[in-house]
Structure 1
Amino acid sequence: MSKADRYLQAGTRDNTRRSYRATVEHFEETWGGFPPATGDAIVRYLAEYADQHAISTLKQRLGALAQWHLTQGFPDPTKTPAVRQMIKGIRALHPAPEKQAAPLLLQDLEQAVRWLERDAEQADARQDLAALLRSRRDRALVLIGFWRGLRGDELSRLQVEHTQAQAGVGITFYLPHSKGDRQHRGTTFCTPALKKLCPVQAYVDWITVAGIAHGPVFRKLDGWGHLAEDGLNSNSLIPLLRRIFNRAGVSGDLYTSHTLRRGFANWAAANGWDIKALMIYIGWKDMKSAIRYIDTADSFRALATAQRFTSATPRAQELTVAENP
């Protein structure tokens, strides 16, 4: 690979490249298409899978096929009037509600953290290092993921050397790139220390017991308490989160890596954050992205218990997110 090719490749996220490659392979090998494709071929491709896949999946495939044609110097066949009409027709004949992760309620977060803290105390008492490490890691994972509203891939890519934490004060994370950072300028995420369910103290406790000085914050653990060098794979977060909440007595079978992010967004909306403050804190660029994460007030009546945390949790004006220039 040439030096120029390395820079060009770095401009596209790994997940995006894999998705594009899988789509082109599906179009060619599974369906039998021949790129460069025509608009008519794209219509027939969509028709073949219209009743098998969600509209979001079909649109992702269109995006990948469009990108392949553009990068290869061919006209984009997915922008023809017939393709647009096809998408409208699929929506009309196969209406389906958008699937979203179940949001994490604050009382469920509290129950899980309480269980993890108790588990850590018991592990420490019997000198079970593996169990202690797992409890400390899991507590830091769910608290940081919730209060900072991070995506699963962002949690998996946090690095110790890019994190500054001061117990009782706050914590700052720097990510060199993220999904919303199209220019790869890097993004800094901050959150203050809390009186309860504190992500800062959870991070300090985890880093201290794990003895991590550099590399990924969140890593795999084997049965003997040995830490992996690599960070957790973002795809492993779903079974990990479900295992954490199920063991804590919270039904976590519907939870995904977006559960923490949606949970925070709904908590913030229920506690008086306006949409602009929430967008700035999470890092959303458009209103539609934010609205998709917020349920109606009726869905969050259970958050009445959040009033007990009002003096212990951050208000919108106290939380900031800033992009590095």
Structure 2
Amino acid sequence: MVRSSSPTASARFALDRGELCQLARLGRQKVPTIARKLAAIRFFHRGAGEENPTDNAGVSAILQGIRRTVGTAAKQKAPATVDVIHALLAHVDARTLQGKRDRAILLLGFAGAFRRSELVAITVEDLSFSANGVDVFLTKSKTDQEAKGQSVAVLNGRALRPADRLREWLEAAGIESGPIFRRINRGDHLTSEALSAQSVALIVKKYADLAGLDVEKLSGHSLRAGFVTSAAENRASISRIMEVTRHRDPRTVETYVRRADRFKDHAGDSFL
């Protein structure tokens, strides 16, 4: 979308609006995604001192129509709660390098409430092991766009032992520097190539399938959501949860808490 008085530009702008509708109908672009793209267009036009084409009444009407027709409800992925994590781990073959890596990914992703992108960006240099667990220093994350860095305390605990499993993986793989999670080729051969964020989702889905769980409802984000949900179910305070998850807005965490508590003290408890 560009500002111009020429008929060609006007026609192109009309076509773009039509494409927005078509993308939404096909399910290729969700309403929040379309809204973000419009916001980017608005930002760059204002920065250039140009007239904002998204102020056009037609655009607003079309976007409002898309919201009514397609809906704005986000498709929530199921959280990989601690019970789900145990189910996934039961199908990991920890005798192999790949199994040790996958186990460490599932446990660290869950215990540290990491985003997929954060998880695959961690290096050996970011780790500080202690008797209580491991501190993971994130050089940059979604909530730290200025790259000031954030430290996440991953508790080793008594049951899952994520720090121990991570150390076992690193020692078995002989990784002493650089990315901690790397591709493994056929034959269980380790490479120097870091895993992609998408690989985390595929690993979760792989073990979900082996465990007989609904693969479509679980993703890489399920590890992070699972920690928040499990913490809420065990009555952890919102402030303590946010220390691990690094959420900036407590309302986001409150959403998980309400879901975890929806059957506790239910209004129908005395008569249903």
Which TM-score bucket, shorter chain as reference? 0.7 to 0.9
Q: Which TM-score applies when normalising by structure 1?
A: 0.69
Q: Give the corresponding residue for 2:268.
A: none
Candidates 4, 22, 32, aligned match of 1:56? 32
Q: Is the Cα–Cα contact under 8 Å of residues 113 and 197 in structure 1 kept in the other structure?
A: no
Distance 1:277 1:77 in 2: 44
Q: Secondary structure at the match of 2:65?
A: helix
For residues 147-186 of structure 1, what are the structure 2 equivalents within 5 Å?
147-166=111-130, 168-186=131-149
- By how many angstroms is 1:92 displaced? 2.3
The equivalent residue for 1:100 is 76
Query: Residue 168 of structure 2 corresponds to which residue in structure 1?
Result: 205
Secondary structure, counterpart of 1:259 in structure 2: helix
In 2: Cα distance, 1:269 partner to 1:193 partner: 19
Between the aligned residues of both structures, percent identity stands at 27
Question: Structure 1 residue 214: deviation in Å?
Answer: 0.6
Contact kept? 1:266, 1:295, Cα under 8 Å: no
Whole-angstrom CA distance in 2 between matches of 1:182 and 1:299:
34
8 Å CA contact 1:270, 1:300 repeated in 2: no
Within 5 A, what are the aligned runs for 1:86-235? Answer: 86-116=62-92, 119-120=93-94, 123=95, 132-166=96-130, 168-235=131-198
Cα displacement (A) at 1:179:
0.9
Name the count of aligned residue pairs.
256
How big is the shift at 1:196? 0.6
- Contact 1:46–1:58 (Cα < 8 Å) also in 2: yes
For 1:243, the equivalent position in structure 2 comes to 206
1:103-123 superposed Cα distances (whole Å, 9 cap, x missing partner): 11322211222443xx32xx3
Q: Post-superposition shift, 1:293?
A: 4.7
What is the CA distance between 1:165 and its match in structure 2?
1.6
Partners of 1:73 and 1:56 lie apart in 2 by: 26
| Backbone CA RMSD of aligned residues | 3.0
What residue number does 1:284 align with? Answer: 247
Q: Is the 8 A contact 2:233 2:257 kept in 1?
A: no
Cα deviation digits, residues 270-304 of structure 1 (max 9, x gap):
11123333223211112343345556237789xxx
Q: Deviations over 1:62-85 (max 9, x none)?
A: 234334435655444335565445
Distance 1:171 1:90 in 2: 46
| Whole-Å separation in 2 of the counterparts to 1:221 and 1:242 | 17
How far apart, in 2, do the equivalents of 1:143 and 1:156 lie? 13
Change (3 A) 1:225 1:94: closer
Partner Cα separation in structure 2 for residue 101 and residue 286 of structure 1: 20
Instruction: Using structure 2 for the length normalisation, give the TM-score.
Output: 0.81
Structure 2 partner of 1:258: 221
Structure 2 residues not aligned, in runs of 5+:
3-7, 265-272
Match of 1:316 in 2: none
On the 8 A contact 1:220/1:227 being kept in 2, the answer is yes
Aligned partners of 1:50 and 1:114: how far apart in 2?
40
Worse-matched range after superposition: 40-49 or 94-103: 40-49
| Equivalent in the alignment of 1:318 | none
Conserved? CA contact 2:233–2:261, under 8 Å: no
**2:9 aligned with 1:46:** no
- DSSP-derived class of the 1:273 partner: coil
Partner SS, residue 25 of structure 2: coil
